[in-house]
Amino acid sequence: MPGFETLVEKLLPVANAIGNQRHMQAVRNGLISILPLTIVGSFFVILLNIPIKGYMAFIAPWRDILDVPFRFTVGLMSLYAAFTIGSFLGKSYKLNEMTSGLLAMLATLLMVVPVNITQGVTVTGEAVAGRYIPLTSLSSQGLFGAIISSLVAIEIFRFIKTRNIDITMPAGVPPVVASSFSALFPTLAVVLVFWIPRHFLNIDINALISTLIMPLKGFMTGTNLFGGMVTQFMIDLFWVLGIHGHAVMGPLIRPLWDQAIMQNMELFQSGVSAYELPNIFTEQFFQWYAQMGGTGSTLALVVLFIRSRVVYLKQLGKLSFIPGLFNINEPMIFGAPIVMNPLLAIPFVLAPMANTLVVYLFTVSGLIPRMMVKPPFTVPAPLGALITTNWNLIACGLVFICFFISLAIYYPFFKVYEKKMLETERRQQEENAREVAQATR
């Protein structure tokens, strides 16, 4: 397979450079770290939108109160992301992780302009007045601003520390106290760098970043079919070459995915119909339609393996079935193998792209709604599709259509691969029989 080897040689250095770049690693790890918050927040969206008339009437008096956990998880995701990204980047520079996280949060907050409320009412009916931070600025709308401000804040921290601009405390001072004083100059620098442009010069960094990133976001996560297909193709291609596709694409696509599903979630909570949400190609779209059973939509291949006449493939299929139901398919990718195996690599790429096209057509035609919550990726595909489309039964049924599409695409390639494996198995059995016969002479 010289063609594959040449492609690997050219792409592997690029993939490693992207995957090992410290800022991208910090962004990827930081966003993954806040998954528990966004998943729990999603559960409250589900709780508030169970389509049972009696249930909806029952919770109506408490809707505003039940919405609070969502607002303080998903609604503040930019603030949490700032802390985790700052902590990871600071750790990579061997800086104090807690101080790094706090400085990143400070930088993010300084980009928000407080609002003055002269008269208002809380969800519990209490009168309020004063200066408040709008939650919207710290939700998904401010995610890219939080990422940039976190990275800049830690670079300021590193710049000051490497030049020993520091307050040195006497020996015997507790480490916690010494660490706090050591952070004074970095804190002052971060305040000045972010406070002056935003509050004196009225430069809205969040709006600027959103404007710059909007074309890419619209291309990869909005309603652009070509963008969705390119995203899926690149993830599959890296896996075929033995490179973790999500790890390589993660630093670029995960912030876009997270912002897209959070935007859908927030709009849905505000009353927008799930059919009218702005983003089609969220991570959840790929998880439960295009990548059923894991990247490459390999659950169909697992079923074919289970029915194979090749002993090895049959055993691998049985071992991979349960993990595949929960969207974990490394046993198949490396065990079949699919990596560097053209016979299985071709359908591994084609099946998810075919599913992407079919589901896109169902979505834009208005037959199914768009994704509006973020359950764990290990939820089985039919249930995941049902939950994320506001309990739409057509969406759930579409998962099975995608499964049979994948099955049809994999089948001819599987039969050729099975025939090849049967011949290898037969030769191995003949060789073993000869060795046994020679040993008994």
- pLDDT tens-digit profile of 314-349? 999 998 898 888 888 888 888 888 877 888 989 999
Burial of 179 (0-12, 13-18, 19+ CB in 10 A): middle
Q: Alpha-carbon Rg of the chain, whole angstroms?
A: 26
Burial of 358 (0-12, 13-18, 19+ CB in 10 A): middle
Q: What pTM value is reported for the model?
A: 0.73
Q: Do both 247 and 366 map to the same domain?
A: yes
Q: Do both 177 and 235 map to the same domain?
A: no
DSSP output for 364-422: HTTSS--------TTS-HHHHHHHHTTS-HHHHHHHHHHHHHHHHHHHHHHHHHHHHHH
Alpha-helical (H) ranges within 34-166 are: 35-47, 53-59, 63-66, 68-71, 77-92, 97-110, 143-162
Q: Do both 321 and 383 map to the same domain?
A: yes
Q: Do both 107 and 248 map to the same domain?
A: no
Q: Do both 235 and 188 map to the same domain?
A: no
Q: Do both 351 and 239 map to the same domain?
A: yes
**Within a domain: residue 174?**
yes
**Within a domain: residue 2?**
no
Q: Do both 199 and 222 map to the same domain?
A: no
**Within a domain: residue 15?**
no
Q: Do both 301 and 268 map to the same domain?
A: yes
Q: Do both 224 and 165 map to the same domain?
A: no
Q: Which two tokens stand for residue 186?
A: 């970095």
Q: Do both 337 and 413 map to the same domain?
A: yes
**Within a domain: residue 189?**
yes
CA distance 403 to 140: 32
Residue 83's nearest CA partner among 43, 120, 23, 31 is: 31
Which of 178, 203, 228 is the last residue in one of the domains?
203
Sign of dihedral through CA atoms 419, 424, 426, 429?
Answer: negative
pLDDT in tens, the chain (441 residues): 555 556 556 655 666 666 677 888 888 888 888 888 888 888 888 788 777 778 878 888 888 888 888 888 888 888 999 999 999 999 999 999 999 999 999 999 998 877 776 666 665 566 666 777 777 778 877 888 888 899 999 999 999 988 887 776 666 666 766 667 778 889 999 999 998 988 888 888 777 777 777 777 778 888 899 999 998 998 888 888 767 677 667 767 888 888 889 889 989 988 899 999 999 999 999 999 998 888 899 999 999 999 999 888 999 999 889 888 888 888 888 888 887 788 898 999 999 999 999 999 999 999 999 999 888 888 889 999 999 998 999 999 999 999 999 999 999 999 998 988 888 878 877 777 777 667 666
Residue entry with tokens 């990422």? 147
Residue 142's nearest CA partner among 266, 48, 28, 58 is: 266
CB 254 within 8 A of CB 286: no
CB 153 within 8 A of CB 128: no
Q: Do both 97 and 176 map to the same domain?
A: yes
Q: Which helix (H) or strand (E) holds 182?
A: helix 175-182
Domain range for residue 34?
22-117+126-203
Which of 179, 203, 227 is the last residue in one of the domains?
203
Q: Do both 174 and 287 map to the same domain?
A: no
Give the number of domains in the chain.
Answer: 2
Query: Which are the contacts of 230, defined by CB distance < 8 A and separation ≥ 6?
Result: 220
Other Cβ atoms less than 10 A from the Cβ of 70: the count is: 21
Which of 203, 234, 254 is the last residue in one of the domains?
203
**Within a domain: residue 11?**
no
